Amino acid sequence: MIKRERGEIELARRARFTSVSPTVAMAQAADARRQRGLEVIDLTIGEPDQPTPRHIVAAAECALRKGWTRYTSAAGLGELRAAVARRYNDDHALALDPDETMICCGGKHALYLVCQAILDRGDEVIVPSPHWPSFEQAVRLAGARPVIVRAEERKSFHVSARMIARAIGTRTRAVILNSPANPTSAVIAEEELLAIARVARRRRLVVLYDDAYARLIYGKTESAPYRRLRETLGERLVILGTASKTYCMTGWRIGWVLGSRSIVAACVALASHSTQCPTTFAQVGAIQALAGPQAQVHQMAKEYLRRRDAVLPALRAIPGVECVEPEGGFYLFPNVKAYVGARPGATVDFARLLLDRIGVGVVPGEAFGAPGHLRISFARPTAETLEGVSRMKTLLRQLGAS
Ligand SMILES: Cc1ncc(COP(=O)(O)O)c(C=O)c1O
């Protein structure tokens, strides 16, 4: 909660009860340490360490030189909307009309817009947990109530149709799915996803499907069965996508909403009164990302798999630390309860200790509704992540298991 100093203007309720995302806050703490000239192994980071591929940068540079510096339509450049639609069609045989797509300022913005577009005060939204903090906050900012349902660690944090069905009440409007998930890196299996879709159709829920990490999957499942989901859910399926992770474009702020004409039109209207449009030359770069060669995406996924396979055993070798194998994305989510316990706040203190004593930045599980866990990003060079894990091991040994 944001505190007001004496004499300061009173903030609106929604602002008072919203604070900077805890993942961002921890990254800021690591950054502050770096600014003081101290060394940091920053494993808080939720973004690829590679630069944006050159052909994408070149397209945006060229656009700037050619004067692509004006507003675009609030729905985004037509060519980019078409490129997004073509990508989903080529990759997933999902046919989308242009007015079922809109371009916005990143996946976070897509989530925010859709929540504003479909939720009213008193509505409830099911959020499987451990969960990305913005899911909960975007629901709250729309005046609705997140209903947190826990995925069990002993079931590798897999989200099931049963756990969703049990949480549905008379006010439930939507369910948020995220696969691979941040922070657990769990992937929802195809049959389970379809079972969730059937439940959602029966109970007339909207499924908000966040596919930010969808191109980084390491197991048998290649991608979500979008076409079959759409067949089951029709207009009740909304895909929230982003160029951030797939194309190493986190700072470009390009995302998209794919859904029914009415939901997309509402998002466009909301954007037209707030951001207007994502940066025009960034949109031109994104056309190259989506329509251009995809080889770098596959190489990146292979590289992350190598990193996962190097770091996971080192983490599991720490006595008392358990860690579910990431099935996608680039996060490890070890359980350190043997050392810090499960008291809410204990892992926040521990993460601070890690940063202050040994210069290792990680995000405490409290940020994701899961005290006793740490989120460790392996979107860093392997040697650096391994050094971070090794320092953590030394510190844990000194602390001893509780
Ligand atoms: C699950 C999930 N969805 C969406 C995003 C949004 O990314 P962006 O706003 O950069 O597109 C993130 C970023 O960390 C994420 O973890």
Residue nearest to atom 7 of ligand 1 (CA): 107
Residue 26, number of CB atoms within 10 A of its CB: 24
246 lines ligand 1 (CB under 6 A): no
210 lines ligand 1 (CB under 6 A): yes
Rounded CA separation 114/108 (Å):
10
- The CATH number of domain 13-38+296-399 is 1.10.760.10: no
Closest approach atom of ligand 1 to CA 243:
11
pLDDT band at 23 (very low <50, low <70, confident <90, very high): confident
pLDDT at residue 20, as a whole number = 76
pLDDT at residue 7, as a whole number = 75
Rounded CA separation 300/392 (Å):
27
108 lines ligand 1 (CB under 6 A): yes
AA letter at 308: R
Q: How far is the CA of 212 from the centre of ligand 1 (A)?
A: 6
pLDDT band at 1 (very low <50, low <70, confident <90, very high): low
Ligand 1 pocket test: which of 111, 137, 242 has the largest number of ligand atoms within 8 Å of its C-beta? 242
Closest approach atom of ligand 1 to CA 111:
4
Residue 267, number of CB atoms within 10 A of its CB: 26
Q: How far is the CA of 178 from the centre of ligand 1 (A)?
A: 10
Q: What pTM, to 2 d.p., does this model score?
A: 0.95
pLDDT at residue 344, as a whole number = 87
> Are 106 and 318 contacting, i.e. CB atoms less than 8 angstroms apart?
no
Distances (CA, A) of 66 to 31, 62, 233, 287, 378: 36, 6, 42, 16, 38
pLDDT at residue 400, as a whole number = 75
pLDDT band at 2 (very low <50, low <70, confident <90, very high): low
Q: How far is the CA of 265 from the centre of ligand 1 (A)?
A: 22
Which value, in Å, is the radius of gyration of the alpha carbons in the chain? Answer: 21
pLDDT at residue 18, as a whole number = 82
> Could you read off the pLDDT of 143-191 as tens digits, one per residue?
999 999 999 999 999 999 999 999 999 999 999 999 999 999 999 999 9
**Comparing 8-22, 120-134, 237-251, 367-381, which segment has the lowest mean pLDDT?**
8-22
Strands 374-377 and 331-332, by their bridges, are antiparallel
pLDDT at residue 306, as a whole number = 97
pLDDT at residue 342, as a whole number = 84
Rounded CA separation 104/106 (Å):
6
Residue nearest to atom 4 of ligand 1 (CA): 107
pLDDT band at 138 (very low <50, low <70, confident <90, very high): very high
User: Is the predicted pLDDT of residue 22 greater than 80, yes or no?
Assistant: no
User: Is the predicted pLDDT of residue 401 greater than 70, yes or no?
Assistant: no
pLDDT at residue 5, as a whole number = 74
pLDDT at residue 3, as a whole number = 67
> Are 275 and 109 contacting, i.e. CB atoms less than 8 angstroms apart?
yes
HSE-CB of 242 using CA atoms within 13 angstroms? 23
Using alpha carbons only, give the angle 77, 79, 83 rounded to the nearest 5 degrees. Answer: 120
pLDDT band at 277 (very low <50, low <70, confident <90, very high): very high
Average pLDDT over residues 348-354: 93
Rounded CA separation 307/378 (Å):
7
Rounded CA separation 16/185 (Å):
31
Residue 8, number of CB atoms within 10 A of its CB: 8
Using alpha carbons only, give the angle 41, 44, 48 rounded to the nearest 5 degrees. Answer: 95
Residue nearest to atom 3 of ligand 1 (CA): 212
* Alpha helices, H only, 100-203: 107-118, 133-141, 161-167, 190-202
Average pLDDT taken over every residue of the chain:
94
Q: How far is the CA of 135 from the centre of ligand 1 (A)?
A: 10
Q: Higher model confidence: residue 7 or residue 212?
A: 212
User: Is the predicted pLDDT of residue 381 greater than 90, yes or no?
Assistant: yes
Unique residue bearing structure tokens 């379809």: 194
The full set of domain ranges for the chain reads 13-38+296-399, 67-291
CATH top-level class for 67-291? alpha beta
Instruction: Please provide residue 245's backbone torsions phi and psi, each rounded to the nearest 5 degrees.
Output: -85, -45
Closest approach atom of ligand 1 to CA 106:
11
178 lines ligand 1 (CB under 6 A): yes
Residue nearest to atom 14 of ligand 1 (CA): 46
Rounded CA separation 349/334 (Å):
16
What DSSP designation does 335 have? B
Unique residue bearing structure tokens 């509402």: 266
Q: How far is the CA of 393 from the centre of ligand 1 (A)?
A: 29
Report residue 316 as tokens.
């599991």
> Are 335 and 316 contacting, i.e. CB atoms less than 8 angstroms apart?
no
Closest CA to 257 of 296, 206, 223: 206
User: Is the predicted pLDDT of residue 402 greater than 70, yes or no?
Assistant: no
Rounded CA separation 223/332 (Å):
20
Rounded CA separation 346/353 (Å):
11
128 lines ligand 1 (CB under 6 A): no
Ligand 1 pocket test: which of 136, 176, 182, 215 has the largest number of ligand atoms within 8 Å of its C-beta? 182
Rounded CA separation 57/242 (Å):
17
Closest CA to 75 of 51, 101, 41, 95: 101
Q: How far is the CA of 394 from the centre of ligand 1 (A)?
A: 32
Burial class (CB in 10 A: 0-12, 13-18, 19+), 95: exposed
pLDDT at residue 223, as a whole number = 72
> Could you read off the pLDDT of 218-251 as tens digits, one per residue?
976 667 789 999 999 999 999 999 999 999 999 9
137 lines ligand 1 (CB under 6 A): no
> Are 212 and 183 contacting, i.e. CB atoms less than 8 angstroms apart?
no
